[in-house]
Chains A and B, each alone.
Chain A
C-alpha cells in the first residue's frame, strides 16, 4: 500500500512534529510568531498580571498599535497606555507604533516565512498565509496562554485545494477572486478547513492580491489559507528580506491526495463582484446590482489599501475629481506601503482628485474612526465585513468591493462597475 501524499498543511505539521499528522488530529505545537494589537492585547493584560505570568519568548512577539492609531477617545487612549506599559514591563522588543495594520506588518516581517506557524489575536491573521505558512486568528485568552507558554493546541484542518487558472480582465483584482470563493463557500462553507491555493494564472497573482484572498478566507469560516510557495513568493521574499530565501518549492500533490474538496477557478471568467448588505458572502456581479447612490467610498483595511490598490486607484482617478459631496477615504495598509505610494506619486494623485488620505490604521473597517457611518448612510468599501451595525447604526449599509469598483464608484457617486470608466 502506498502512502498518499499529504496536503501542504498536513505536511507542515508532520514536519514540525516529526511524525505523520493527519487532518482531524489535535496537536500541541510551539508557535513561531505571535501578534497582538492594541485592542485585543488590552483584553488580556489584567489576567496576565494577576496570574504573575511572564512572556516566554519575547523575540517571537509582535505588538502593534493600529486599531487606536492614534486614539480618538479617552477610553481607547487609556487602553493603549496599558498596552504600552505591558510592552515595557515584559521587554517585548517588537513594538509597531502606528506603523500600519497588524496583518500587513506580519506580511512585511522577515520572520514570516513559508512553513512557519503564526497566530494573531485577530480573526484576519489568516492573511499571513499568503507566503505559504499556517496562520490563524485566536482570541485574547488563547493568546495570553501562548505568550505565557510559547505553544498552543490546534485540530489540524482538512484542506480544500483551489487551483486558479486563466488570465484576469484588467480591472479584476485578487479581491474579486476572494468574492468568487465567498460566493462558492458562503459564510461557513470552509469552516474548520484550510484553503490550499495554487496560482496557475496567466500573469500570476501578486503578493498583494494573494493577501486579499487569504485575508477574506476568514469570512468563509476557514481556519487557514495558504498559497503554495512559488516564483512569486520567492521574488517577494527576496525583495522584502534583501536575500533570496532558501526554499524548496513544494511539488503539486497528486490527484489521490486527501483533500476534502478540489476546486478549479478560471479567473478569466470573473467580472467585478460585490458583497451586498449584510454579509460578505452575499456576492453578485457589480453590473447586476442596482446602481444605488453612495455617501462614502473607503479604500483601506487589511483586505485592501496595499500598493497595488493605491496604484490602481490613482490610475483610475488621475486628472479627475471624485463625485461632489461624497466622502472618499483612502487609508494605506502600512507606513511602508504609504511611503512607496508617496514616492510613486499615487498619494498626490489621490489628494488632487479629492480623496482624504489618512494614516495607516484599521480605521473605519473596525468601526473605529476615519469614516464611520451616519444613520442612513450607504457606503462602498474594500474592508473585510459588512455586518449590520459594524461600521455605523443599524440602518446604515455597507457594500464590499474591489479597489477598482470603489474607484469607479468614487467618480460617479453611485455603484459603478470599473469597466464603465475603463480604459483609464
Chain B
C-alpha cells in the first residue's frame, strides 16, 4: 500500500559526472522563471526537458551536479518541479544547494543502473524509499544526515533560519 505522502512519478535516468552546465547552461543565468526555466536540462537534446513533468525525479550516478555553484539551476529545478534527486554520489556544492532549497536528495549506489528513463515509481521522501510501479519492488534509499534532514523538513535553509531566529 502506498501512503499519502508518496506520489507516483517518473524518473529521468542520467549517468555519471552529470555537470551543472548540462543541467542548466550558464547562458540561461537569471533570477526569473522566464529567464531560467528554458535552461532546464538544456545541455541535453530538447526532447529530454520536453518529456519532464512536475514531480518527476532525477536519478544519476557518481558525482551528480559537479561544476558550478550558481543556484540558477536550483531555481530551474523548482520551476520545473523536480520532485527529488537520487544518485550514487553528489558534488558537494550541489548537495548543499538542493538541501538548502528543500529539494529531497538521497543516495543509492545502483538505482541509475536499475531503472530506465520515464518508468513510474512511487517516491516516499519521509520513509526514504522508492517503489517500482511495474514490479512493486520497494527500494530503500540512504537519506541525508540528521542535521540536513532538519533543514529539509523546514522546507529549506531560509525557512529553517526563520524558524530558529530568536
Contacts A40-B70, A51-B161, A123-B68 given; indicate if A138 touches B27 (C-beta within 8 A). no
Task: Tell me whether A368 and B26 are in contact (CB under 8 A).
Answer: yes
Q: Nearest residue in A to B46 (C-beta to C-beta)? A: A394
For A76, A122, A140, A148, which residue has the most chain B Cβ atoms within 10 angstroms?
A: A140
Instruction: Name the distance in Å between B81's Cβ and chain A's nearest Cβ.
Output: 19
Task: Tell me whether B63 and A390 are in contact (CB under 8 A).
Answer: no
Binary B-proximity of A110-147 (CB < 8 A = 1, otherwise 0): 00000000000111000000000000011111101100
> Which B residues, 6 to 60, have Cβ-Cβ distances below 8 Å to chain A?
17, 19, 21-22, 25-27, 29-31, 35, 42-43
Instruction: Name the distance in Å between A150's Cβ and chain B's nearest Cβ.
Output: 13
Task: Tell me whether B69 and A187 are in contact (CB under 8 A).
Answer: no
- With a cutoff of 8 Å between Cβ atoms, the chain B residues found around residue A47 in the complex are 158
- The answer, yes or no, to whether B132 is at the interface (CB within 8 Å) is no
Contacts A191-B92, A389-B25 given; indicate if A137 touches B43 (C-beta within 8 A). no
Chain B, interface size category, equals 35 or more
Contacts A141-B100, A389-B43 given; indicate if A188 touches B35 (C-beta within 8 A). no
- The answer, yes or no, to whether A331 is at the interface (CB within 8 Å) is no
Task: Tell me whether A141 and B71 are in contact (CB under 8 A).
Answer: yes
Contacts A141-B158, A279-B17, A368-B26 given; indicate if A122 touches B91 (C-beta within 8 A). no
Number of interface residues of A (CB under 8 A): 43
> Which A residues, 16 to 57, have Cβ-Cβ distances below 8 Å to chain B?
26, 39-40, 42-43, 46-47, 51
Task: Tell me whether A140 and B26 are in contact (CB under 8 A).
Answer: no
Instruction: Name the distance in Å between B66's Cβ and chain A's nearest Cβ.
Output: 6
Task: Tell me whether B43 and A388 are in contact (CB under 8 A).
Answer: yes
A64 to B45, CA, bound (A): 35
- With a cutoff of 8 Å between Cβ atoms, the chain A residues found around residue B66 in the complex are 187-188, 219, 221
Instruction: Name the distance in Å between A91's Cβ and chain B's nearest Cβ.
Output: 21
- With a cutoff of 8 Å between Cβ atoms, the chain A residues found around residue B96 in the complex are 138-139, 142
- With a cutoff of 8 Å between Cβ atoms, the chain B residues found around residue A137 in the complex are 69, 93
- With a cutoff of 8 Å between Cβ atoms, the chain B residues found around residue A420 in the complex are none
- The answer, yes or no, to whether B147 is at the interface (CB within 8 Å) is yes
- With a cutoff of 8 Å between Cβ atoms, the chain B residues found around residue A378 in the complex are none
Q: List 19 A-B contacts (CB under 8 A).
A: A43-B31, A75-B30, A123-B93, A137-B93, A139-B93, A139-B97, A140-B70, A140-B71, A144-B157, A145-B157, A187-B63, A188-B91, A191-B91, A385-B19, A387-B19, A387-B67, A388-B43, A389-B22, A389-B42
Q: 4 closest pairs, A vs B, by CB? A: A188-B63, A139-B97, A387-B21, A141-B100
- Chain B residues close to A by CB (< 8 Å): 17, 19, 21-22, 25-27, 29-31, 35, 42-43, 62-63, 66-72, 74-75, 89, 91-93, 96-97, 100-101, 145, 147, 156-158, 161-162
